[in-house]
Amino acid sequence: MTGELNEYNRKRDFDKTPEPEGVAAEPEGGLRFVVQHHLARRDHYDFRLEWQGALLSWAVPKGPSFDPRDKRLAIQVEDHPLEYRNFEGTIPKGEYGGGAVMLWDEGFWEPLGNAEDGLREGALKFVLRGRRLRGKWALVRLKEKEGDQKVNWLLLKDKDEYAKDSDGISEFTTSVRTGRTMAEIEQGQADKMGKNPFDAVDVQLAKLADAVPEGGGWLYELKFDGYRIVAYADGGGVRLVTRNGSDYTKRFAPIASSLADWAAGRAMVLDGEMVVTDSSGRTDFQALQNTMKNPGSQTLTYIVFDLLALDGEDLRGRRLDSRKETLEALLKNAPPSLRYSRHVVGNGTESFEAACRLGMEGIVGKRADSVYSGTRNGDWVKLKCAKRQEFVVGGTTLSGKKASG
């Protein structure tokens, strides 16, 4: 792949341009795409698809269009390094491509059919799952004419639920990462989107209990059977991280996309459970695992039960009931895939019995005045409806070949 980036490197002086140097990179899992608005000698959009460790790239003079009737010229240019999908800034005048570059859209893409065949035959069909561009699209290569210096394609929107009667791109004038306009990027203004005060956290854990806690000051929530996920949203992007620190953003890409759209650049850290529910509303862990093996086979839901940071402020030192009050208001207009974990104050025994009658996992009790310490200190307890113990059954048998065995 390094050879394929030679042209990219040859055209740039990396002592003068802030662009990343073209170095081969290993794919991270999940195919990324990016669209960069590029105000160079001619205003255009750069459309880039990750493939085999680099970004296949096309310059689209008029930009993509949501209208299936529009046939947008897409001029294939040199492959770019994967790191280029993070580039936003100004390339100095006099350098190749000099001018402002905005991260206009980003997300994941999925080929429909064999991508290698599509690229070779000049008819690549794919699905985009971006912040702005979604649904089915196609790149169709035009016949080369004598004297053509570039390979020309057409970028087309397929007819689906995301299609529009207009090109639809004029309404988007800011960066999906920094919230800046092209003028603000040219002026070197700072990132306008908030940043979280931390990018890693030890999750609060619940102790297993045999009985409902005595005394008042407790609130109770349903216990969910899924993956514990901390969501970090800021700068227009989202990371989904397990309790052990593994990044599951790509595995749960639909939720990451929903969170990014809903947060709209606002900085926040959420704690919750990634689940799949059955027709009765019960969480189904086996269905969740099947969905991870076969993406899209089931609908994912992120049930959020705590708010650790908002708009750059660390909220872990606040009381739990205060954090949940803010969280409930925050999620009021969230999409269906993002759900607030409701609770009851007191009535622990009744809540536990009701959960068991409904076939739920159990309940989690939390001290209403507790801070988020990131430990298993007894401020959170869990009561399970089904009491199970793992054990091994062993035995011996006599051998016919030996006197004993």
**What pLDDT, on a 0 to 100 scale, did the predictor assign at position 25?**
63
Q: Please indicate, yes or no, whether residues 250 and 132 belong to a single structural domain of this protein.
A: no
**What pLDDT, on a 0 to 100 scale, did the predictor assign at position 75?**
96
- 3-state percent breakdown (helix, strand, coil) of the chain, nearest 5: 15, 35, 50
Q: What range defines the domain where residue 60 resides?
A: 3-186
**What pLDDT, on a 0 to 100 scale, did the predictor assign at position 71?**
96
Q: Are the CB atoms for 323 and 343 separated by under 8 Å?
A: no
Q: Are the CB atoms for 302 and 338 separated by under 8 Å?
A: yes
**What pLDDT, on a 0 to 100 scale, did the predictor assign at position 318?**
95
**Helix ranges (DSSP H) in 33-165:** 115-121
> Phi and psi at residue 239, in whole multiples of 5°?
-120, 135
Query: pLDDT tens track of the chain, all 405 residues?
Result: 344 778 888 878 888 888 887 776 655 557 899 999 999 999 999 999 999 889 999 999 999 999 999 999 999 999 999 999 999 999 999 999 999 999 999 988 999 999 999 999 999 999 998 889 999 999 999 998 876 778 999 999 999 999 999 998 888 999 988 889 999 999 999 887 778 999 999 999 999 998 888 878 999 999 998 999 999 998 778 999 999 999 999 889 889 988 988 887 789 999 999 999 887 778 878 888 887 887 777 889 999 999 999 988 999 999 999 999 999 999 998 999 999 999 989 888 889 889 898 888 889 999 999 999 999 999 999 999 875 555 677 776 666 666 655
- Cα separation, 383 vs 209, in Å, equals 6
Q: Does residue 211 fall inside a structural domain?
A: yes
Q: Please indicate, yes or no, whether residues 177 and 243 belong to a single structural domain of this protein.
A: no
- Cα separation, 195 vs 159, in Å, equals 38
Return the CATH number at 260: 3.30.470.30
Indicate the pairing of strand 344-345 with strand 218-222: antiparallel
Instruction: Supply the residues annotated as catalytic.
Output: 223
Q: Please indicate, yes or no, whether residues 154 and 27 belong to a single structural domain of this protein.
A: yes
Q: Please indicate, yes or no, whether residues 168 and 306 belong to a single structural domain of this protein.
A: no
Q: Does residue 144 fall inside a structural domain?
A: yes
Indicate the pairing of strand 89-91 with strand 99-111: antiparallel
Q: Does residue 403 fall inside a structural domain?
A: no
Q: Are the CB atoms for 370 and 380 separated by under 8 Å?
A: yes
Give the burial class of 24: count Cβ atoms within 10 A of its Cβ; 0-12 exposed, 13-18 middle, 19 or more buried.
Answer: middle
**What pLDDT, on a 0 to 100 scale, did the predictor assign at position 103?**
95
- Cα separation, 257 vs 251, in Å, equals 12
Q: Please indicate, yes or no, whether residues 43 and 182 belong to a single structural domain of this protein.
A: yes
- Dihedral of alpha carbons 117, 122, 123, 125, sign: positive
**What pLDDT, on a 0 to 100 scale, did the predictor assign at position 305?**
97
- Cα separation, 45 vs 214, in Å, equals 63
Total of domains in the chain: 2
Q: Please indicate, yes or no, whether residues 224 and 136 belong to a single structural domain of this protein.
A: no
Q: Does residue 118 fall inside a structural domain?
A: yes
**What pLDDT, on a 0 to 100 scale, did the predictor assign at position 387?**
53
- Is the overall model pTM greater than 0.85, yes or no? no
Q: Please indicate, yes or no, whether residues 60 and 125 belong to a single structural domain of this protein.
A: yes
Q: Does residue 71 fall inside a structural domain?
A: yes
The amino acid present at 273, given as its one-letter code, is E
